[in-house]
Amino acid sequence: MILDLFKLDGKVALVTGAGRGLGQAMAVALAEAGADVAGLDVISLEETAAQVKALERRFLPVSANLLEAHAADMTKVVEQVVGGLGSLDILVNNAGIIRRAPVLEFSEKDWDDVMQINLKAVFLLSQAAGRVMVERGKGKIINIASMLSFQGGIRVPSYTASKSGVAGITRLMANELAARGLNVNAIAPGYMSTENTAPLRADAERATTILDRIPAGRWGESADLMGTVVFLASAASDYMNGAIVPVDGGWLTR
């Protein structure tokens, strides 16, 4: 049956930024599909853990500060997941930050912080997870890209650069690892109702401008990513490699 391809029974997923918002929704979605979940965040994971455990799936909290993470730290995270849950089959690189300022005033710190979490940590964790997955001949790496992986945006130079980079390393890793049994793809959310977009939604003029361009006529919600992440984590997407999948209410079509 086709629906059996979407089942994740017996799989282990690691989701970064799983404490709230998009990451929490995707962690719960993977658990609903049958996976045990490791959640990584610097904030409390208790709410996410409760939702996953309510589905009778195991949950492993992982504490790591991606702003200070190096390659050895990412290797330890992967070892903790494998040691705690017995495997690592799915990695969702969701954690990310954004800093806003005009391009001519943008600070070096805001550049470095965003690039560290949004791009460097994504690459290093994917590298560490990829080594484990290659040994087993199978694995799914799902990165979270952005509309700004396709567009320039305004007032977010490091975010645009980092998310363009996420799209690039997604394609590169797919090129190198597809033949070794891994699927590396990305989801590009549109304008979502999250903490990162709170300043935009609070700006009546900017919020109206954004909403007017979305064909679906609404901001995205965390639940809008649940089906896509399960698809990319499952056997149903085994012939997808290096795709950047927009979930944007039609934003890119305008």
Three-class DSSP labels, the chain: CHHHHHCCCCCEEEEECCCCHHHHHHHHHHHHCCCEEEEECCCCCHHHHHHHHHCCCCEEEECCCHHHCCHHHHHHHHHHHHHHHCCCCEEEECCCCCCCCCHHHCCHHHHHHHHHHHHHHHHHHHHHHHHHHHHHCCEEEEEECCHHHCCCCCCCHHHHHHHHHHHHHHHHHHHHHHHHCEEEEEEEECCECCHHHHHHHHCHHHHHHHHHHCCCCCCECHHHHHHHHHHHHCHHHCCCCCCEEEECCCHHHC
Placement of tokens 């399960």 in the chain: 230
Catalytic residue among 59, 123, 159, 219: 159
Task: Kindly state the tokens that stand for 168.
Answer: 């690039």
Reply yes or no on whether 159 is catalytic.
yes
- Give catalytic residue positions: 159
